Every structure is written in C-alpha cells, then in structure tokens.
Amino acid sequence: MFESILASTSSVAAGEFVICTCISLGLGIIIAFIHSFKNEYSKNMLLALLVLPAIIQTVIMLVNGNVGTGVAVMGAFSLVRFRSTPGNAREITSIFLSTVTGLAMAMGYVGVAALLILVVGASTIAVSLMGLAMPARGTRVLKILIPENLDYTTIFDDLLEKYTAKADLDRVKSTNMGSLFELQYNVVLRAGANEKEFLDELRVRNGNLSISLGRPVVNREEL
C-alpha cells in the first residue's frame, strides 16, 4: 500500500505519468470537496485545489535529479507569494494538503497521499459537524452607546441579571469625539426573555441612544 507505483523515480514513463496525473486530479477533487464542506469558498479556490496536486507532481517529476532546474523552480515558486492575497487558516491548510499530495504522487506513493487526505479530511469534516469553529450557540453581541458622564461599570447590572443568563463586558470604546462610550457585551439571553422589553429598558437608561443586539461575527484569521 505504501510502495511506489513508479518503476524508477529518476525517469518516468509516459504511461506512469498519465496514471499519476489522473490520480492527482481525482485526489484534488476530494480536497476541493473537503475545503468546501461547511465553509465559505470561491470557485477559483476550488479550481486551484483541484489542479494543484497535478501541477506540483509534474514539476517535481521534471526537476528530479536536476539541481539547477530545482533551484530555478524554487525561485519561481517564491514569486507566487508576492502575487497572492492573504488567506485564512483553512485555505492555507488546504493548499498545503494539495502540495503534499502532489509531492507524494510525484514519487508514486498513491497510498500515502490517499491516507493523508482521508485522515485530514475526516478530521476537518468532524470538526465542522461538531461546530467547534463557531461561536457558542445562543451567544449575542450587545452594543450600547452611553453618555460619557454615566458610570458604565454598574449602570446596567440589574437589567443584565434580569434578562441574561450570562453577560461579559468585552470592550469599551470612546466615540463621537469622546462624548460617548460604546459598550460591547457578549450575552446569552435567559429562556423566555422578551428582547423588546430588554431593549426598551436599556434605552431608558442610556437616554435613547443607539443599541444593537445581534449574532457574533466569526473572525477571518489571516496567515
């Protein structure tokens, strides 16, 4: 299973090259599916993940044993980084998975490439299904504007205790030339709590200034 299907890695026959390329494209389709599972993606990203294993495999086969060509190709690959925009962690992981798959296929190790994709893909899908990458269910972001002369540390404590099961002051920011404070809470509403009554009572305390209550936004980690 973990033996190379190539008779020799120093010279590759046409038939072996075609077989490896077809397998690389098939594995690329699987990688593209794994990347798209419960994830935001673009068509261009899926296309890149699909063809990248075959491209990497071809490059490695061409430069195998040739030091000069290998150095030239390494320099060419280094230029790609400066022509690309930053990606999130999952995109970078998928690209590395495609690259390693192409390297394994260039050496003829189909079993190694398939097992790697199986393990990484199963882990990714399992984490996505369990929702570990998403905010805690029921968590809301509450933003309140208050005048600068109000003591924000205790003014809403009784209302938060009445309507929420959990409330954490996440951030305080001055705005409007320092005349207002914006408070940001992470809150979990109590079962059966009336959101409108909650917001109405908050508006009485903050002088009818702006209040918003919404779902948290998942941050986009860039590498």
CATH of the domain at 152: 3.30.70.60
- Whether 79 has a pLDDT exceeding 90, the answer reads no
Identify the pLDDT of residue 221: 47
Residues 154 and 199 in one domain: yes
Average pLDDT of the segment spanning 124-142? 75
Q: For residue 180, what pLDDT band results from cuts at 50, 70 and 90?
A: very high
- Domain range for 118 is 14-130
Domain total for the chain? Answer: 2
Please state the rounded mean pLDDT for residues 89-100: 88
144, 126: one domain: no
Average pLDDT value for residue range 114-133: 86
How far are the Cα atoms of 149, 153, 215 from residue 212, in angstroms, in the given order?
21, 19, 10
Are residues 167 and 65 located together in one domain of the fold? Answer: no
